[in-house]
Structure 1
Amino acid sequence: MKTAQVFVALFMLLLCTRSMQSENILGIFSYTFSTPYKVVKPYFEALVHNGHNVTIISSKELLPDIENVRHIRIAALDLLIEHALSFDYSEWTNSKWKESVMSSIFYYNVSHCILSDSGVQSLLHDKSEHFDMIVLEPTYSDALIGFAEHFNASLVGLSTFGSSWLTDYLAGNSAPSVYRPVQPVGFSLGNSLLDKWNNWIYIAEEWMIERFVVLPGQLKLFTHFFQLPSSRLLERRTSYSLMMINTHFSLGRVRSNVPNVIEVAGIHMAEPSEPLEPELLDFVNGAEHGVIYFSMGMEILTRWLPKSIEQKLLETFSKLKQRVVWKHEEHTMLNKSDNIYLSPMASQRQLLEHPNIKLFITHGGLLSTIEAIYSGVPMLGLPIYYDQFDNVEKMVKVGVARKLNINTFTEEQMMNNVRELLQNPIYALKAKEMSKRFRDQPTSPIETAIWWTAYVLRHKGAPHMRMTDQDMAFVPYYKLNILSILFGRIAFSTILVLFICVIVVKFILKEFLRITEEPSVLYTSI
């Protein structure tokens, strides 16, 4: 009898402990395509498994239901995506400022769709609602930070796209700000003094775009929906308790992170992968000379590519002795050779883990890159947009990949690169070494993410993890003291920097004024 009483007491203590650790967490994600949700889903499943009460605001179609999660679905987000896909972007892509204006309008409308939704408004006006933590994508959705201010909750960023100077700035991580822009196209990869100055100017321009093009619309939404002064948002946006970034130092770039910036690359791999279909598995198992896997990711459909590109790929693959698994929406293709297998949705992780896979031809998406590194498979990159160029360039630099321009490559160039990657053993060797380094972690990425989330909850926002602006002053950071020594006088170097800054600011403001005078898509009315 006494033993039973002890057991009941221990059981009740366990329940009480679990109850005390249970917190209310709100996730808000305005993603307009499905790939980032592959990172979001396992993270929130783990939070639920650890006893937390989770609510997620997201699009209606892209995020599957998560058991024991309260979902607030925003149907207007899905309609906005359809409208965006039908828009003619050709006249915008030749100007960085025009593209930025268009993007800012899109981000404004995305945030407006969420904040104006009836379910979200009910949540905000329900006095019984309480949240201890708000988790969101940190870039270009600043108006949503109002949820953290409204509920007096800790603010956590989950950056599914990796890192940039903007995520570093929001996290109070000053040191790596010259490493990576938000938009890598046009960013110099050289190490000369001129390259570094060009990149400083490039990021300064991005800062101007973020400050004067994107942020005003977000401030407008913040003040309207939360009835708070804009100064509250400007203060709150740089108070992230935790910034989880989808990268890792073993993936080709070391960062000097402050304590509240945590690397969680591979968090999406906590989800179990689907097995290969029997017919495809037989095709891969029977490949005497190995298999090449070709995929442009979840969002880039092969039918969107020009027919000339598809034809060049088809002709190249048909001449290989290796078998090729091609992620393609159709099961059939005109003039397809017998060594090509078409699969609309093959299990990519299962394929990359198969010992017969010798090469991955990829668009260079971040999740695909991480999976290839985990499996130790060399890559041939065909980047198309956004972070793909930077992801592929990093892999080329560490010696596990080669790259081609998808718009200009020839059949001969494709064949030469494929043969080099298959026949030169150094690529496979470096890929295996990189896989070994990436796998060698004290805890899994999902365990790391959950532990630090719990740490922030335990320590009420953990403000002691943040670096203040005073801890990293402008002059020592940009080594202006060294420049003053090189030029002989501090005054001369300071004047030089100010002179360059004035020229850059005048040019940017002139371009901005010119663009804003042109007719553009109007903001959604509030």
Structure 2
Amino acid sequence: MGSVPGVSLLLLVVSLSLLSSPSVHGGKILVFPVDGSHWVNMKLLIQGLHARGHEITVVRTASSWYVKEDSPHYSSITVTLPEAIDIEQQDFFVTFLFKMLTIQKEGASLITFVKFYWEMLGALSNIHKQASQLTVEMFENKTLMQSIRDTQFDVVLIDPGLPAGVLVAHELKLPTVFNVRWITSGEGHFVVAPSPTSYVPTSGNAISDKMNFGERLKNTFYYVFNTCIDKLIVCPHYDRLVERYFGPDVNFYHLLQGADIWLMRVDFVFEFPRPTMPNIAYIGGFQCQPAKPLPTELEEFVQSSGEHGFILMSLGTLVQGLPVEITSEIAAAFAQLPQKVIWRHAGEPPSNLGNNTLLIKWLPQNDLLGHPKIKAFVAHGGTNGIYESIYNGVPIVGIPLLFDQFENCLRMEARGAAKVLDATKLTRQNFLEVIQEVIHNPSYRNNMKRLSALHRDKPMHPLETGLFWIEFVMRNKGASHLRTESYKMPWYAYYSVDVICLLITVLLTLTVIVVGSIRFLCCRLCRRRKTKQE
């Protein structure tokens, strides 16, 4: 089995293990992905569905740089937008990271800080404005929409990070499945499941589920702040389209919350425990697979490390946004280690690179993490890398840079499987000390091995789970019996404010009656005594 390529092996196992399960033969699936790292996850689901005999059609934009027009696993519908979506530009996040690190490192004034976040919110609004145009371009193309209707799709598979596909699915009256962790307002659970801020960390707030009063106050602030951003900056772009094409009786947020199944890229080995719902299926780590043999040159480099082993470092494409002084400090620390280092690095190499360090622009990350000589993984905390580390039992040195990476690294640190550094405060000395601690303190590897055992101890592989639920929706024309209708309730009914107000009113009325009755009786009694005395 070790000689079979990992992806092929994984898809073969999934296909064989589900032969006895109910299936949908020759189903038709319309897919709305999000570009970038999100596509890596969606692509694997598409490959699994294609291997099971389904016809996949992917809606992409002409400016997509990950989602290719031609593929053996799917056909595509390419839509040309008036303006390319910013996140489809390879340098967007690099530029954003550089600005943020500059502000953090130089200790910018409050005005500069506020200006930066105002620009960030403006960029967020513009991204969703651009993405919402996908709906317009499709709806206004009557020939295209009729062609899609004639195809008679069975289900729409959507990454709701950019939710234009939600409106198209509603127009086509098709059941929907979300491949999700992130949604317009942050982490997907906050939209579909109860999320008490007393112990559920809010998106953007790097904190554990054990909070004191101050942390709960801060967590509530983050929740309100995220909600305001979503309602005031993101949703208006889609609200206008909903009113334009569906009328005032349709609510965009209800469409978003009304998905039949949520394939949540979460595993509670990694995520803090929280409330869930019947229509959420957990597929965290579904992209993980057994390691394949390394290319010859890499294998020779790894074997040359001897008993010391090697360290893997990858910050994804974001490493291009790191200032030279930070990469120089990293290189200087690596040069002092007896371990060999494989570093995914794009751009100008540091001038002080050690002889033990190999720079490459692309690397087989999962295969390296599964190698027996791996000692530690220096990572930015992206979800895919985190799950591959858990799967292979490799401890992490975290250097979070953007967005959820801070939360991801904190979760691993809270479980004793990682040590985290602030990129703006990184020096060769503290970086070296952290790496040596993670390598030589066995608790980090032991804790990660324990998480790996828990992650693998499942009745079925997470990819199987995802494929099963997609086909479940196709077989049953939806899954409305698993979906609560609570999202259609007004807020005062959802939180029982009206019930509480009624109970308080009744209680106050009874109190007034009782107190009034007692006072009345007391007054009558006093009058009688006074009359007798006279």
Aligning the two structures, in what range does the TM-score lie when normalised by the shorter sequence? 0.7 to 0.9
Question: Compared with structure 1, are the counterparts of its residues 327 and 306 closer, same or farther at alpha carbon in structure 2 (3 Å cutoff)?
Answer: same
1:322-349: per-residue Cα shift (whole Å, max 9, x none)?
1111112369653422211112111111
Q: CA deviation at 1:161?
A: 4.7
Question: Compared with structure 1, are the counterparts of its residues 353 and 195 closer, same or farther at alpha carbon in structure 2 (3 Å cutoff)?
Answer: same
1:263-315: per-residue Cα shift (whole Å, max 9, x none)?
10122236x87652212111111212111111102x31x33311101110111
What letter is aligned with 1:285?
A: Q
Instruction: Find the aligned partners of 2:184 and 2:337 in 1 and give their Cα distance.
Output: 38
In structure 2, the partner of 1:24 is 28
Does residue 116 of structure 1 match 2:137? yes
What letter is aligned with 2:221?
A: I
What letter is aligned with 1:417?
A: V
CA RMSD, Structure 1 to Structure 2 (Å): 3.5
TM-score, structure 2 length as denominator?
Answer: 0.77
In 2, are the aligned partners of 1:401 and 1:427 still within 8 Å (CA)?
A: yes
In 2, are the aligned partners of 1:161 and 1:245 still within 8 Å (CA)?
A: no
In structure 2, the partner of 1:144 is 165
In structure 2, the partner of 1:174 is 194
Where do residues 254-403 of structure 1 align in structure 2 (5 Å cutoff)? 254-269=273-288, 275-288=293-306, 289-297=308-316, 299-300=317-318, 302-329=319-346, 334-403=351-420
Question: Compared with structure 1, are the counterparts of its residues 84 and 410 closer, same or farther at alpha carbon in structure 2 (3 Å cutoff)?
Answer: closer
Where do residues 399-410 of structure 1 align in structure 2 (5 Å cutoff)? 399-410=416-427
In structure 2, runs of 5+ residues without a counterpart are 1-20, 100-111, 502-506, 509-534
Q: CA deviation at 1:45?
A: 1.6
Q: CA deviation at 1:392?
A: 0.2
Where do residues 425-464 of structure 1 align in structure 2 (5 Å cutoff)? 425-464=442-481
In structure 1, the partner of 2:225 is 205
In structure 2, the partner of 1:133 is 155
In structure 2, the partner of 1:519 is none
Q: CA deviation at 1:234?
A: 4.0
In structure 2, the partner of 1:523 is none
1:87-133: per-residue Cα shift (whole Å, max 9, x none)?
97656875655533330221111221464269975431335242221
Instruction: Find the aligned partners of 1:472 and 1:175 in 2 and give their Cα distance.
Output: 17
What letter is aligned with 1:183?
A: G
Question: Compared with structure 1, are the counterparts of its residues 25 and 426 closer, same or farther at alpha carbon in structure 2 (3 Å cutoff)?
Answer: same
Instruction: Find the aligned partners of 1:473 and 1:254 in 2 and give their Cα distance.
Output: 27
Question: Compared with structure 1, are the counterparts of its residues 338 and 69 closer, same or farther at alpha carbon in structure 2 (3 Å cutoff)?
Answer: same
Which residue among 43, 59, 71 is the counterpart of 1:57?
A: 59
Question: Compared with structure 1, are the counterparts of its residues 477 and 416 closer, same or farther at alpha carbon in structure 2 (3 Å cutoff)?
Answer: farther
In 1, are the aligned partners of 2:58 and 2:75 still within 8 Å (CA)?
A: yes
What letter is aligned with 2:233?
A: V
Q: CA deviation at 1:183?
A: 3.0
What letter is aligned with 1:267?
A: F
Instruction: Find the aligned partners of 1:346 and 1:410 in 2 and give their Cα distance.
Output: 26
TM-score, structure 1 length as denominator?
Answer: 0.78
Q: How many residues are paired up?
A: 459
SS in 2 for 1:418: helix
In 2, are the aligned partners of 1:241 and 1:466 still within 8 Å (CA)?
A: yes
SS in 2 for 1:269: coil
SS in 2 for 1:61: coil
What letter is aligned with 1:145?
A: V
SS in 2 for 1:321: coil
In structure 1, the partner of 2:236 is 216
SS in 1 for 2:188: helix
In 2, are the aligned partners of 1:145 and 1:236 still within 8 Å (CA)?
A: yes
Instruction: Find the aligned partners of 2:114 and 2:315 in 1 and give their Cα distance.
Output: 21
In 2, are the aligned partners of 1:72 and 1:120 still within 8 Å (CA)?
A: no
In 1, are the aligned partners of 2:393 and 2:452 still within 8 Å (CA)?
A: yes
What letter is aligned with 1:200?
A: T
Instruction: Find the aligned partners of 1:97 and 1:230 in 2 and give their Cα distance.
Output: 33
Same amino acid, percent of matched pairs: 24
Q: CA deviation at 1:394?
A: 0.2
Question: Compared with structure 1, are the counterparts of its residues 385 and 373 closer, same or farther at alpha carbon in structure 2 (3 Å cutoff)?
Answer: same
Instruction: Find the aligned partners of 2:210 and 2:118 in 1 and give their Cα distance.
Output: 24
What letter is aligned with 2:435?
A: V
In 1, are the aligned partners of 2:27 and 2:55 still within 8 Å (CA)?
A: yes
Give the structure with higher Rg (CA). 2
